[in-house]
Amino acid sequence: SYNIVVKGTDNANPANTGQTSVQLAVSDFSLSANPTSQTVTSGTNAVYTITANALNGFTGTVSLSVGTTCPSGLICTFGSTSIAAGSSTTLTVSGTSTIASSLTATITITGTSSGLTHSTTAGLTVNPPPPDFSLSAAPSPQTVNAGTGANYTVAITASNGFTGSVN
């Protein structure tokens, strides 16, 4: 809002002056992202809540976009690309399974309404999955009589660069 001071002087009698103040509230909106930044593991979606905050009685509808700031190879999708002032929607970043090494990016969310344009940012870090392994046994199942034994072959399958030993 703006405080406007209007001053006046009587041309015939310059000693006569007066002034008044007028408060001018301009309706507008702001955007916010929650969380403002997050870290996910490759294969996991990142989800942000995007809110169009109404200022000074703003009642317009805000159109949302990320333009070219969605990281290459990922998909940025709004729950709704158009929201009323004072309401929220989600921004989901998917396709993170394509990330083989760490990625850090800033996504700029832009909102427009009635000639007004405002932006907010959402930070994103995608880490590759940690090294891991899985075990399998064959054959499965076996029937064993009491007092006898059974043999199984156990296989270890490495994933995501696992090179350790398994006990």
Instruction: Convert the pLDDT of each residue in 37-57 to its tens digit.
Output: 999 999 999 999 999 999 999
Confidence grade of residue 130 (pLDDT, cut at 50, 70, 90)? confident
| pTM given for the model | 0.72
Distances from the Cα of 66 to the Cαs of 5, 82, 92, 109, 122, in angstroms? 40, 13, 11, 5, 10
